[in-house]
Amino acid sequence: MKDWMIDLFQAYGGAAYVLSLACNVAISVLGVVPSAFLTAANLTVFGFWPGFWVSFAGEALGAVVSFVLYRKGVRRWNGTKWLSHPSVKPLLHAGGREAFFLILALRLLPFVPSGVVTFVAAIGRTSLSVFTAASSLGKLPALWMEAYAIHQFLEAAWSGKLLLAVASIVLLWFVWRKIGQKTAE
């Protein structure tokens, strides 16, 4: 997918920036597609810092567009059962300063799905301005870490990539085994 995006961006020249923003908005609205391949394409085509800033602008814009669409289209889901889960309630009922710091903290955590944060904030009491500020501010360090990791991976020699792949497979095997042991108990 990354290679296809690189070819697409190179084919469209100056319009590639706008195309990247549009792709980021689409990924954000879908809410479940990871954007790492798009960040990798941006870094490859535009260079590290321009690629980072185009990725940041796209993710921030995508979060705002998603928030607005979710707010208009799915507010009726506010009463669904999964929204009564204790881990969802704080953001759902937060407003103002409390919502700002909750969204900021959730954006800083790399394992919290961005689409879930946007969805819950959109159907909750969070205002668009609070969401935009907290989400964008929280995305800066998280995206920088992602971009730096991707950049280092792209610049690594094939032996480094092979070592990382083997380490990932071993880690996955240990986690899978641990899960299997817990389900057997």
Any domain includes 165:
no
Average pLDDT, the chain: 85
Number of domains in the chain: 1
Any domain includes 174:
no
Any domain includes 56:
yes
pLDDT digits (tens, 9 = 90+) for 11-21: 988 899 999 99
Q: Can you give the C-alpha Rg of the chain in angstroms?
A: 19
Closest alpha carbon to 123 in 100, 102, 99, 93: 93
Query: Higher-confidence residue: 32 or 61?
Result: 61
pLDDT digits (tens, 9 = 90+) for 127-180: 999 999 999 999 999 899 889 988 888 887 778 778 877 888 888 888 888 877
130's CB contacts (< 8 A; 6+ apart) are 95, 96, 99, 100, 103
Using 50, 70 and 90 to split pLDDT, how confident is the model at 84?
A: low
* pTM score: 0.77
| Vertex 111 angle, CA 130 and 77, to 5° | 55
Q: What is the pLDDT of residue 180?
A: 77
Q: What is the pLDDT of residue 60?
A: 95
Q: What is the pLDDT of residue 130?
A: 95
Query: Higher-confidence residue: 51 or 161?
Result: 51
Any domain includes 36:
yes
The number of CA neighbours under 13 Å toward the Cβ of 65 is: 17
Q: What is the pLDDT of residue 160?
A: 74
Is pLDDT at 88 greater than 70 in this prediction?
A: no
Buried b (16+ CB within 10 A) or exposed e, 62-80: bbbbbbeebbeeeeeeeee
- Containing domain of residue 124, as a range? 2-156
Any domain includes 164:
no
Any domain includes 183:
no
